[in-house]
Amino acid sequence: QVQLLESGGGLVQAGGSLRLSCAASGLTFSSYVMGWFRQAPGKEREFVATLTRSGDNTVYADSVKGRFTISRDNTKNTVYLQMNSLKPEGTAVYYCAARRSVWPSAQMVDYSYWGQGTQVTVSS
């Protein structure tokens, strides 16, 4: 079956960096648009970033633009999220998701598969 396994979360001070990874199995990875979402305590899950199957085109939430970078390695079936200049409001569980489509999407409902999430805590 399809599995998405996130890793790389942890505790970091404001202004610091983390790199999240999401390893996929059970699917033809290069056929899937991949996305990252996050859910802060007491809030709705929200879009962070997405990229096309080739990785050539990316879309970011305004709140992370210029600080976060999404990328993928189709030879390793892995998508990454490099997070720089982290802010305390970035504290959340970060989820990766997979969408079998040509088009990237910022909508949760468009994604078929989800990982279990990895916790990121940014201290002030």
What is the structure's pLDDT at 54? 97
What is the structure's pLDDT at 67? 98
Check the CA dihedral 55-96-38-119 and report its sign.
Answer: negative
* Average pLDDT, integer, range 13-18: 98
What is the structure's pLDDT at 114? 98
* Average pLDDT, integer, range 108-122: 98
Q: What is the pLDDT of residues 82-108, one digit of tens each?
A: 999 999 999 999 999 999 999 999 999
| pLDDT band with cut points at 50, 70 and 90 for residue 5 | very high
Percent of the chain with pLDDT over 70: 100
What is the structure's pLDDT at 37? 98
Angstrom CA distances, 79 to 16, 42, 75, stand at 21, 27, 11
